Amino acid sequence: MEALLTALLVGMALAMVGTIARDFNRVNARSQTNDTSLEALLTLHNVATELAQSTGNVSPALNGSSAILTFERIDPTFPNRLPATLLPNPDPTPAAWEPRDPAYLVSVRYSVNGVRQLQRRVDFPGGSFEEQVCADNVVNFQANHPHKGYLLLIITVSQAQQNRTLSLPVTLPAVPAELVP
């Protein structure tokens, strides 16, 4: 009788361990799926934040769509680019100062590389560059420029044998070419 009771208790314990292991695998798979989606969403927000700093030359052009997003922005590694005459009181602004001086602009490019990663490349004045992988498991990246001052970023990621598409609208800063009626 004791052996039967012991076998029953051991069987129940093994069944509980099996159930816990099965549930853990389900939660782990779901967590990995959510991680991929969260990484893609954070990447879209990072791209949008950097794009909001653009000074112009945004590609795709107006009414265009492209798998490659490029734009120019001011290089933040030059904190002393303002002339001393502007500091501390920038009144009046010197006529010769150009806030979008090409010597202080970087070109930023986002595209999917050959191994399904969204890659960011920054080209600095003088020819040097920096590359960074922003997201993995990227099936598609698209930038749509349907009208002035607006860009739609779309990313599709592969997760758990299915694709998930996320999009984020971005309001572009007004650049001189877009201010003209």
Domain parsing of the chain, residue ranges: 2-179
pTM: 0.72
Q: What is the dihedral of CA 27, 141, 166, 117, to 10 degrees?
A: 20
Query: What one-character DSSP code corresponds to residue 92?
Result: S
Gap between the Cα atoms of 121 and 103, Å rounded: 18
High-pLDDT (> 90) share of the chain, % = 35
Using one digit for the tens of pLDDT, what is the confidence trace for 92-114?
655 666 667 777 889 999 999 98
Contacts of 39 (CB under 8 A, 6+ apart): 135, 136, 157
Looking at residue 55, its pLDDT comes to 83
Split at pLDDT 50, 70, 90, the class of 30 is low
pLDDT in tens, 119-130: 999 998 888 999
Query: Cβ of 148: how many Cβ atoms within 10 Å?
Result: 13
